[in-house]
Amino acid sequence: MFRPAPCILPALLTLAIAPTCADTQVDSSTAAIAAHVDASQEAAFALLERAVNINSGTFNPAGVRRVGDLFRAEFDALGFATEWVDGASFGRAGHLVARRGERGPHVLLIGHLDTVFEPDSPFQKFERDGDIALGPGTSDMKGGIVIMLSALRALMAMGSLDELTATVVLTGDEEDVGEPQAPARAALLEAADGADIAIGLENADDNPATAVIARRSSTSWTLKVNAPGAHSSQIFRDNVGAGAIFESARILEALRSKLAGEDYLTFNPGIILGGAQTTFDPGSMSGTAAGKGNIIAPTAVVIGDLRALTIPQREQAKMRMTEIVAAHLPRASTEITFQDSYPPLAPTDGNRKLLALYDQVSRDLGFGPVTAVDPRDAGAADISFVGGVVPMALDGLGLLGGGNRTEGEFADLRTFRIQTQRLALLLYRLSRR
């Protein structure tokens, strides 16, 4: 139910994007937005059903393209200039980019067309049971794209869409970013260039009382240890050493004892192989180890991940890990390499200010306060790529549900009106800066 809250001027005035708070004007626009959104609900659910019923597993480029075409027509109808960015150069379907407007603040809206459910998954269809919609991509995140469209439609009905410059990027490979990464995220970064605000329509932690202002980075690392191989009876002699397995265990324990416990920093050895011979295939993330109990292992390899809240924290951790690995025992040789995938979305003041504006929007709509998700509970997502580029970013504003990445994925359709009204009012207030 719509309950206009008292109009409180937030500390956002410094941003010059605060609601003008002309009292009754804010309340009447708030009510109008709520009415437009609520009237569009069933049409939005029908669009969601059509989108969910098209398989768009990341590795099904034709399906991703079809979902892209479905949404493209919707953005065309809103007067966006739309473009399909082909993904052949990075081994994926590609992305839908839509642009509209030349006035007002430049808002970048981010979503993704793909899901983790490929055509061979038994989980393919939209099924609705009252307020619950079960199906692949219902909450992650075709539902978020439907919310984006409904909010933009409400703005158009209010005559406010022309007061924004909006760029929409719907990637086709969020669940498994194409390689090489640079061309795979070029369209997103290009769209972010010059944007004032980035908004992600992920379902985040599926809690309408929270939104995401920070996500940790994701980096993989590989530790290789080599040592002289010899008969086990010779281990620990000065000219032989302790072997690669003991040395890798010693290094891992040194990493744990020296680096564990730092706020928001985690690093995890996920795979370890050691012996007389080892093989590892990064594509399948699997390998082999062979040897004998009476042979000192000459080789060991450890594969792990590293997560950090900011780029300085990530780089500092890499430096310390490299130092620890370099201080190896005599007779051993060591090497650690890092491969960054997602950068962090650092919790900047700009992101906090945007959350404060969203929180006020939510209160004004009668939906209660919104606080930040603990970054430990927020995985990497596409908005992370633009965090260092766009002054203000907020994610998790999509359709909410549960069962992420399982065949029980669902959306709670009651969150549609909450999330869409809040996004529409946020965009409306941004348009009136």
Residues of this chain that interact with Zn ion (CB under 5 A) are 140-141, 202
- Residue 74 or 173: the one with the smaller Cβ distance to Zn ion is 173
- Terminal Cα-to-Cα distance of the chain (whole angstroms): 27
Which CB atom, from 178 or from 241, has the smaller least distance to Zn ion?
178
Provide, rounded to whole angstroms, the least separation between the CB of residue 259 and Zn ion: 30
Minimum distance of Zn ion from residue 358's CB (angstroms): 19
Is the CB of 74 or the CB of 202 nearer to Zn ion? 202
Q: Residue 173 or residue 202: which is nearer to Zn ion going by CB?
A: 202
- Shortest distance, position 381 Cβ to Zn ion, whole Å: 6
431: Cα separation from own chain's centroid: 26
Q: How far is the CB of 382 from Zn ion (least distance, A)?
A: 8
Q: How far is the CB of 227 from Zn ion (least distance, A)?
A: 43
Looking at the Cβ atoms of 49 and 202, the one nearer to Zn ion is 202
Q: Least distance in Å: CB of 202 to Zn ion?
A: 5
CB of 92 to Zn ion, least distance (A): 15
Q: Indicate the residue among 10 and 344 with the shorter CB distance to Zn ion.
A: 344
Choose between 359 and 395: whose C-beta lies nearer to Zn ion: 395
Nearer to Zn ion, 222 or 341 (CB): 341
* Cα dihedral across residues 21, 27, 31, 32: positive or negative: negative
Q: Least distance to Zn ion from the beta carbon of 383, Å?
A: 10
Residue of closest CB approach to Zn ion: 140
